[in-house]
Chains A and B, each alone.
Chain A
Amino acid sequence: KAGVTQTPRYLIKTRGQQVTLSCSPISGHRSVSWYQQTPGQGLQFLFEYFSETQRNKGNFPGRFSGRQFSNSRSEMNVSTLELGDSALYLCASSPGEGQFDEQFFGPGTRLTVL
């Protein structure tokens, strides 16, 4: 079974631009979660989607948004980029229907904001 894939792997943007990151979950998984990893703040939960609906949300400003498609693929968007948005963005997928399902992580997208 193929793992979680994220595209692109690396991205360079400038302040004020917007960016869209993509995540393809493991086949059959309906839950996709997004995390931001930075040296200063560590790993922080952004949001989770299940069956095209946002089921949980972390404490990030409205510039961070996401969506999930009917095939469970997910995208996250960051508008009006700031220098502090430079981070590794990790996507994780799970079946999403158990009491707690193991999350499988992708390799991440490294975003650099100049």
Chain B
Amino acid sequence: AQSVTQLGSHVSVSEGALVLLRCNYSSSVPPYLFWYVQYPNQGLQLLLKYTSAATLVKGINGFEAEFKKSETSFHLTKPSAHMSDAAEYFCAVSANFGNEKLTFGTGTRLTIIP
């Protein structure tokens, strides 16, 4: 079975500061890992995904994440926060080939302080 744990349900950072959102995974097989963002009253948008091609994954809007097998982590970072980054972020895992089920973390709400 696969699962993800997101540490910190709420994170606040100042505009221009580093954004770090934490995600740890548990999987019995090499996982596929994802970060999604959700803006109010909208669906989910994929930020980036890890599918074993490269451990450092670059996504949209300046976000990136590093897969660390030894730490079972896939933390999301952005060097400089922008007001438009305020949203809820979800880490997700899938481990099955040909199986589209995603298991999501509980989400982290990111607030940007002007």
The 3 lowest CB-CB distance pairs between A and B, nearest first, are A105-B43, A43-B104, A105-B44
Chain A residues contacting B103 (CB-CB under 8 Å) are: 45
- The secondary structure that dominates the B interface is loop
Answer yes or no: B106 CB below 8 A from chain A CBs.
Answer: yes
Determine the distance from Cα of A44 to Cα of B103 in the docked complex, in whole angstroms: 7
Contact call A100/B32, Cβ cutoff below 8 A: yes
Contact of A48 among B43, B46, B101 (CB under 8 A): B101
User: Which of B32, B92, B100 is most buried by chain A, counting CB atoms within 10 A of its CB?
Assistant: B100
Per-residue contact bits, chain A 42-57, to B (CB 8 Å; 1 contact, 0 not): 1111001010000110
A103 touching B43 in the complex, CB below 8 Å, given contacts A42-B106, A42-B107, A43-B90: no
Contacts of A90 in B (CB 8 A): 43-44
Chain A at the B interface: SS class? strand
Interface range on chain A: under 10, 10 to 19, 20 to 34, or 35 or more? 20 to 34
Cβ B98 vs Cβ A99 within 8 A: yes
Closest chain-A Cβ to B92's Cβ sits at a distance in Å of 8
* A48: nearest chain-B partner, CB-CB: B100
Could you tell me the distance in whole angstroms from the C-beta of A8 to the nearest C-beta in chain B? Answer: 14
- Is A94 close to B, CB under 8 A? yes
- Give Cα A90–Cα B101 distance, bound, in whole angstroms: 13
CA distance A98 to B51 in the complex (A): 12
The interface size of chain B toward A, counting residues with CB under 8 Å, comes to 24
In the bound complex, residues from chain B placing their C-beta under 8 Å from that of A99 are: 51, 97-98
Q: In the complex, are the beta carbons of B101 and A107 less than 8 A apart?
A: no
Query: Are A103 and B42 in contact, CB atoms less than 8 angstroms apart?
Result: no
Give, as a whole number of angstroms, the nearest-CB distance from A99 to chain B.
Answer: 5
The 17 sampled A-B contact pairs (Cβ below 8 Å) are A4-B43, A35-B102, A42-B104, A43-B90, A55-B99, A56-B99, A56-B100, A56-B101, A58-B101, A92-B100, A100-B97, A102-B46, A105-B43, A105-B44, A105-B45, A107-B41, A107-B42
CA–CA, A99 and B104, complex, Å: 19
